[in-house]
Amino acid sequence: MPSNTPAYERSGPAGSLFDSLSRLGGTLLAAAHTRLELLTTELQEEVRQVGAILLWAFVAAFAALMALFLGALAVIFVFWDSYRGLASLAMIAIFVGVAVAAALMLRRKLNDKPPLLHDTLAELAKDRDQLRLGS
């Protein structure tokens, strides 16, 4: 009476080897799938964060520039009759100081930011280390 069991399952060690390889392949595929999901989640979060940062940076910069411009005009108008040249130079010096401070802050923020896909790369490094230890 013929059996409905495939030949590779009936052959003992060869069948168990195939089962082991099949499970290993499934495990590797599941790990890759999980890492890919983490990668896409991180990319989505990064895009949202960058978009929000850019929007608020633009709003803050626009408001700050308008305030600085109107403040500078007010100072120059107050000293129009007596020290308009000195008032104009003082306003230029203040704007240059603000620009330098902002550039230094931006450089510090960019240097302190973790690299793109940091968590995904850390998980992949853990996977690699576990595979090395397992073999």
Q: Which two tokens stand for residue 109?
A: 């923020």
The whole-angstrom separation of Cα 18 and Cα 8 is 7
Q: Are 108 and 27 in contact (CB under 8 A)?
A: no
C-alpha dihedral sign at 12, 13, 16, 21 = negative
- How confident is residue 13, by pLDDT bands cut at 50, 70 and 90? low
Model confidence over 72-127: pLDDT tens digits?
Answer: 889 888 888 898 888 888 888 888 898 899 889 988 888 887 777 777 777 777 87
- Global confidence as pTM: 0.44
Model confidence over 31-84: pLDDT tens digits?
Answer: 888 888 888 888 888 888 899 889 988 898 889 888 888 888 898 888 888 988
